[in-house]
Structure 1
């Protein structure tokens, strides 16, 4: 492998390469995973509860649930930004979430919601495990 100096690189490609891909908004490409979602995914795996991430549950809308429990009609949402004035707690976002969750319920899904704090404390996985156990 041959290395080149920064000056040589700039002379070949310019100081701002046109070939670099501009970063896209996370909403347009892939959502950035929250800490709560990461922790819950690990907990679900540890409890051997099968799930899929970013589950598109509606045939026409682009709505996705953070988690879908496979073989059950259960959707799980980890709500972020509840103390910092995030999207879920501001008017438009809150109304949008109500529309999404109501549509899921009308489609036969059970929707359960947790805060990041509930996930971290273990209370979310306890409730999920009980719910899954109660369903058989």
Structure 2
């Protein structure tokens, strides 16, 4: 059996760790629509409520809301990973969400937050309708 050094291996096959890191960065920048978001799209369309997805609401920050109800100052967020220890429930993510939602409120938006379960049960769309009809 012939052995080669790490340097020789990297020269032959490249640094696979770098390639993995680059592909992960690319993947992170593309947001995948969640089950809750997909369901809310169907519900909003059924009720003919106009909306925009991935709405950039802040002029300086890269913050986006999952949904913006057109001609209303209402942002809707579907929070994922609540029970699985997702980003929204860990310290840094939770603090970031507070900053984002408070900034939206200061700018005059109402922010409605729902879990995937609240969307799929119909509770979210009922509350959205109630706010719109107000």
Category of TM-score, reference length = shorter chain: 0.7 to 0.9
- Look up the match of 2:104: 104
- Look up the match of 2:28: 27
Within the alignment, does 1:45 sit opposite 2:45 as a pair? yes
Q: Does structure 2 conserve the Cα–Cα contact (< 8 Å) formed by 1:55 and 1:68?
A: yes
CA-CA distance at 1:23 after TM superposition: 7.2
Distance of 1:75 and 1:59 partners within structure 2: 15
Distance of 1:26 and 1:36 partners within structure 2: 20
- Look up the match of 1:117: 117
Distance of 2:128 and 2:47 partners within structure 1: 10
Aligned residues: 112
CA-CA distance at 1:24 after TM superposition: 5.2
CA deviations on 1:15-53 (whole Å, 9 max, x unpaired) are xxxxxxx6754332x201000000001100001100000
CA-CA distance at 1:64 after TM superposition: 0.1
Q: Does structure 2 conserve the Cα–Cα contact (< 8 Å) formed by 1:79 and 1:114?
A: yes
- Look up the match of 2:80: 80
Q: Which runs of 4+ in 1 moved over 4 A?
A: none
Within the alignment, does 1:57 sit opposite 2:57 as a pair? yes
Q: Does structure 2 conserve the Cα–Cα contact (< 8 Å) formed by 1:37 and 1:78?
A: yes
Distance of 1:61 and 1:89 partners within structure 2: 22
- Superposition RMSD on alpha carbons, in Å? 1.1
CA deviations on 1:76-120 (whole Å, 9 max, x unpaired) are 000000000000000000000000000000000000000000000
Gaps of 5+ in 1: 1-21
